[in-house]
Structure 1
Amino acid sequence: MIDPWLWLGFAILLAFTIETITGFGSIVIALSLGALMLPIPQLLPVLVPLSVVMSSYLTWKNRQHIDWPILTRLILPLMLAGTITGYFLMPWLGDSGLEILLGCLIVWFAGKELWRLFGGHVAAPHGLKTSRGIILAAGVTQGLFASGGPLLVYALAGIQLDKSRTRATLVSVWLTLNVTLTLLYLFDGRLIATADRIAWYLPMLVMGVVVGDFLHHRLDEGYFRRAVYGVLLVTGILLVFRAIL
């Protein structure tokens, strides 16, 4: 048997390598792989502070591209409310409930992206009320899994932002929300209990960024994304079946 915390180190290295190459998904990938061997509530106090380190650097680097009106008036109020709601819902769902919800979220996200990549499907824009509802739901998944990205990107379909502004704005969202979650984990005692593990995994984050930067211009990103989404799809299905059985 593989030591589950050693497995998590591998998942962290892989996840931050992929994020450096493609610009998405460090927590989604690390959490989905880690959840195959460890309970989700044990993973989040390790993964969220590591994400804060990464997103702090990226937010500062891309600060001039942040769309402040969309960030402060549309995204953050709803995402913060949803994140706090999700944090307090977590104990009520239990480990199996969390695994099923995470697995379903990953299957939906990976399946949607594979459909888009293979079929050329373009997401239709949403009305303002629908977008607000999806953003609130994205906040809930952020509070539960620190993985609000799939729903938030879906909610923002049709909003006219160029690639630079979209990435900078989303990174600033993750920084704000993950700092909030880190403080909540500090107050409930889970952050202190996992501080030594966070320190051990920091080199994995740095190594992932270095390896990802090296591979960024040497891989076909389209094929690489398809492979990543395929792995996520299988992982999500495994999580759901494991929780049910």
Structure 2
Amino acid sequence: MTTALVVMFIAGLITGFSKFSVGGMGLLVLPIVMIAFPGPESLGVLLPLYIITDVMAVYSYRKHISWPVLARFLPLGFLGVFVGAQLLSGINADQFVALLGGIIIAMIALGLYLDARPATFMQKPITAYSMGFAGGLVSMIANAAGPLFSLFLLEQKLSKDSYVSTRAWGFFIINLVKLPMYLSLGLLTQESLTISAYAIPGLLVGAVIGYHFLKHVKPVHFKWLIRIMSTIAAMKLMLFS
């Protein structure tokens, strides 16, 4: 129980910090939670935290939403969530751990690629919209679809305010759609909700720290630390689980 309390406090701390500061730390949260809950049930433990922070975000960014952009992304995103649910229902804990590690490495590689060169391949509509499907799939399996959704939105030529608002609402809607899927898979239970509650103090502390941190530090200076830590976590999942 002590391990679960510490792990969930740290998970809440990172989640709150990420949502209100640099972002991109979702790749790190799930491997940390898996220290105490080493299997797909870790997804159900984390989902309520993401929905809590999503509610904060959509309230803060309730204007400038580009609904036409979401209308192009979300249908394929819903399909990705459904396919991800089918995939989760057919794998065991060891397979899940290996799959998660592979997804984290792929998301880090995508981020490095986008830093090095522009995403010209996104100029093709079918490629751009496929990000919706991939985003829903990765969100369902690993809660790590941020890079894919951001890639899609960046190619829509939105203003800064519209980008932030549309991104916040997209994640909120996708996470709500995941709720019944996690319930049907038995990943979201009364027990998992109790465990999720352990993270709320850390969530609030992380949000406050992140809000003030963002005022003094440029996000780019923090990006490589996140990538290195996420890579170490992914390698541990794939090689030492």
Q: Contact 1:49/1:179 (CA < 8 Å) preserved in 2?
A: no
Seq. identity, %? 21
Aligned position for 2:55: 56
User: Could you state the TM-score of these two structures normalised by the residue count of structure 1?
Assistant: 0.86
Any stretches of 5+ residues in structure 1 without a counterpart?
none
Q: Indicate if the aligned counterparts of 2:103 and 2:142 stay in contact, CA closer than 8 A.
A: no
Distance 1:235 1:123 in 2: 27
* Partner of residue 94, structure 1: 92
Q: Tell me if structure 1 keeps the 8 A contact 2:55–2:172.
A: yes
2:176 pairs with one of 179, 182, 191: 179
> Structure 2 regions of 5+ residues with no counterpart?
none
1:141-170 deviation digits (Å, cap 9, x = unpaired): 122223222223334453212232222112
Which residue number corresponds to residue 80 of structure 2? 82
CA contact (8 A) 1:44 1:146 kept: yes
Question: What's the CA shift string for 1:107-149, capped at 9, x where partnerless?
Answer: 12223334555x4x32223411122223212211122223222
Give the whole-Å Cα distance in 2 for the aligned partners of 1:139 and 1:170. Answer: 13
User: TM-score normalized by structure 2?
Assistant: 0.87
Indicate the residue corresponding to 1:235 in structure 2.
233
- Correspondences of 1:1-245 after superposition (within 5 Å): 3-22=3-22, 24-25=23-24, 27-72=26-71, 74-114=72-112, 116-117=114-115, 119=116, 121-124=117-120, 125-187=122-184, 189=186, 190-243=188-241
Instruction: Give the whole-Å Cα distance in 1 for the aligned partners of 2:184 and 2:167.
Output: 26
Higher relative contact order (CA 8 A, sep 6+): 2
CA distance in 1, matches of 2:142, 2:99: 9
Moved more, 224-233 or 11-20: 11-20
Provide Cα deviations, 1:184-238, integer angstroms capped at 9, x if missing partner.
3345553322121222221111111011112111223211112112211222222
**What is the RMSD of the two structures over their aligned residues, measured on CA atoms?**
2.3
Q: Secondary structure at the match of 2:217?
A: coil
Q: 1:103 to 1:229 in 2, by over 3 A?
A: same
Provide closer, same or farther for how the CA distance between residues 135 and 151 of structure 1 changes in structure 2, counting only shifts above 3 A. Answer: same
Q: Partner amino acid for 2:98?
A: I
> What's the offset of the Cα at 1:93?
2.1
Aligned length: 238
Distance apart, 1:64 and its partner CA: 1.1
Structure 2 CA distance, aligned partners of 1:151 and 1:111? 12
